[in-house]
């Protein structure tokens, strides 16, 4: 008990305010969600040797008329505005009419706008409007599941939801909100079964 007390005292509190909203382990690293100091947003923190480190989220962009050459890691360009594409989320269609969302980071040169854009190589797509910051609403109670839906080494990821924002996927670097199409897209519960991801919205269950 004395040893446990000593080691427990060495663990710094997760920064922020209010209660801890959720804790999980992914790839042998502990993550925790807590509201920021002002209680205006949730923050995902990573445990490191030097303490808790806040995860920086990227921005989202919706697009249409995308082709299959638009890929993760590409540079997105529209006029003088550029950004790195962290994740391409295709929701419908096939090349050259893919519809979906981009998660971007490192935007420079201003804001994106509705209209044609290109990516590294021969990538082409039409942006639906300006980018929007990815955030977590304050409050909630988070649940998590880790699973590999792709079967490759790099596709083992964390999935979660908290009842206040969209569910999400996280690979240790890229945070990707999952849009289900629900009018109020704030799932309360999450489960993985037979290689499918399930969200519960009150009495409604979706996979």
Give CA–CA dist 205/77, Å, rounded. Answer: 39
pTM: 0.93
- Cα angle value 138/32/72 (rounded, 5°): 90
Instruction: Report pLDDT for 9.
Output: 81
Q: What is the pLDDT along the chain (207 residues), one digit of tens a residue?
A: 999 888 888 788 999 999 999 999 999 999 999 999 999 999 999 999 889 999 999 999 999 999 999 999 999 999 999 999 999 999 999 999 999 999 999 999 999 999 999 999 999 999 999 999 999 999 999 999 999 999 998 999 999 999 999 999 999 999 999 999 999 999 999 999 999 999 999 889 999
Instruction: Report pLDDT for 39.
Output: 98
Give CA–CA dist 43/51, Å, rounded. Answer: 15
Helix (H) or strand (E) holding 199: strand 196-201
């Amino acid at each position: 008990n004395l040893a446990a007390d000593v080691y427990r005292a060495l663990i710094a509190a997760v920064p922020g305010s209010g209660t801890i909203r959720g804790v999980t382990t992914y790839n042998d690293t502990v993550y925790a969600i807590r509201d920021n100091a002002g209680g205006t947003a949730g923050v995902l923190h990573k445990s490191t040797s030097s303490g808790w480190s806040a995860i920086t989220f990227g921005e989202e962009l919706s697009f249409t008329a995308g082709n299959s050459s638009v890929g993760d890691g590409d540079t997105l360009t529209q006029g003088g505005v550029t950004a790195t594409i962290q994740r391409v989320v295709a929701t419908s269609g096939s090349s050259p009419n893919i519809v979906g969302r981009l998660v971007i980071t490192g935007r420079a040169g201003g804001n994106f706008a509705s209209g044609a854009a290109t990516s590294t190589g021969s990538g082409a797509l039409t942006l639906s409007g300006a980018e929007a910051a990815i955030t977590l609403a304050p409050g909630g109670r988070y649940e998590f599941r880790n699973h590999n839906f792709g079967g490759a080494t790099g596709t083992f990821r964390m999935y979660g939801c908290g009842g206040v924002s969209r569910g999400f996927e996280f690979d240790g670097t890229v945070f990707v909100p999952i849009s289900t199409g629900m009018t109020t897209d704030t799932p309360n519960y999450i489960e993985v079964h037979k290689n499918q991801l399930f969200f519960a919205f009150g009495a409604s269950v979706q996979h």
